[in-house]
Structure 1
Amino acid sequence: MTAGEYLTAHAVWHEVGGHGNPPMLRQFRAHGLDEERCAALERRSGGYNRGVPTLPNRYRTLPNRYRRLFDGDELIIGGQRWQVRVGYGHSPEHAALYSPDLGVLISGDMLLPTISTNVSVFAVTPEADSLTDYLQSIDRYRELPAATLVLPSHGMPFYGIAGRVDALHAHHEDRLQLLEEYCQTSRSAADLLPMLFARELDTHQTMFAMGEAIAHLNRLEHAGRVMRSEEGDGRIRFVASGRASAASGSGEAGSG
């Protein structure tokens, strides 16, 4: 496996190095999530450990040694050559596998046929531009032949990599434009959840939704389309850059 996945698995399992429920809840509170939903998330503490299925004794703890994979490595599996293609944005160092001889891409979570991959910002890297990392990663799949069969981790196998990559770019740009419009007034990530997700979110979905909302706001900030501020209540909010500039200009004019 890749180093990013191996080391993160250990950090999440042991809840060290900025991983685990306490850092996540601090981040979500800072981004405006209310105490009721934070309390519900707190009750789910240790969910990663509980969610790992029961395994034979030799696999019940994370291994202390592994074979590290790098982007571009080749593996022989079942007599077939598979190329390692590393992607970012969804998880720290996601490895997909491509067989040029079979014309098959095992895309894992990086490329799904009907739903968009969760792209979140985690407490350990609070200012990350995860969405750009993700979109740049899936752009690399465009170089694969059009006839490549994609085997995703969710949903049915499919063809049409380039079209799917285009659709995901369009989907995320729609989301970015929507948030930019709503940020004409100063907003926190939690404020924006109803705009991004029309359905009612359960506790598990709220965790993913907050991470995704922060990822989109960070992308807008990195692109100069919104500005971040931390106000008197300690919450992080974002406002569209044009709006913030106008407000600043009005303040300067009034003070003269």
Structure 2
Amino acid sequence: MLHRTRLTLPLLIAVLALSGCGAVSSQRAANSTYETLDADSFASALADAMAPEGSVRVSGHLAGDTMHGAYRFGDAETGAIRMSISGEEPFEMIVVDRTLYSRDFRETAWSRYSPHVFDQVLGSVGGLTPTAMTSVLEDGAEQVDHLGWEHTNGRVLHRYRVEVAREVIADRSGLRVDEVPDLTYWYWLDRSDLMHKMTAEVESQQLLEIDYHGWGEPVAIKAPPAEKVRDVVGPDNGQPVRHQPTAPYVAAS
């Protein structure tokens, strides 16, 4: 489970780290003419727009599996993720209070990993703040093309195509540059730069499709109850975790 979690969590972070979606920017919203973004302005504009929202819900498909979840933006202590993924190996994951929990859908107990693991799997991103989560785009967006507008999900949305430098992806993922495949990202934003959809293609094959909704709505992301938690002990988990009082687990609606 740890191996799958290590592979999946950075990818889930990337759902937002490479989406850079956000709320209405007052300056841009005040303009009657839509101003397109480019490689220099894309990341900072989206990070500024994300900041006031505080949370978002996501749904979509990841490598053929169905996913649903929610993010609460913040630093290592206050940011949180809740995600469920169905497929051949369905599982749930919670990241809260600098601790990662996961369980197979067939199990009732949650596995708890030490903050050592949290630091490892989130080290390439730097946290769940808007600035950290758009840093890949800030550092690596080589080309940002505005492709015009289209009707998507009942809205008129502006479509962008974004290319990110292989060197930046390699640095964040721990891969060699020659191991990084051809990646293309597509974004659908309204005229206020609010993100509604993002897809990612690998070698021209769609890997990821995400819809964003419920921006700014409260999300309940809490640790599972202590009686349903078991600590993972082993060389990959760093120091064993001692049980601490945890808040009751309340699933968000």
The TM tier, using the shorter chain, reads under 0.3
Compute the TM-score of the two structures, normalised by the length of structure 2.
Answer: 0.25
Q: Which has the higher contact order (CA 8 A, sep 6+)?
A: 2
Compute the TM-score of the two structures, normalised by the length of structure 1.
Answer: 0.25
- Structure of greater Rg: 1
Which has the larger helix fraction?
A: 1
Which has the larger strand fraction?
A: 2
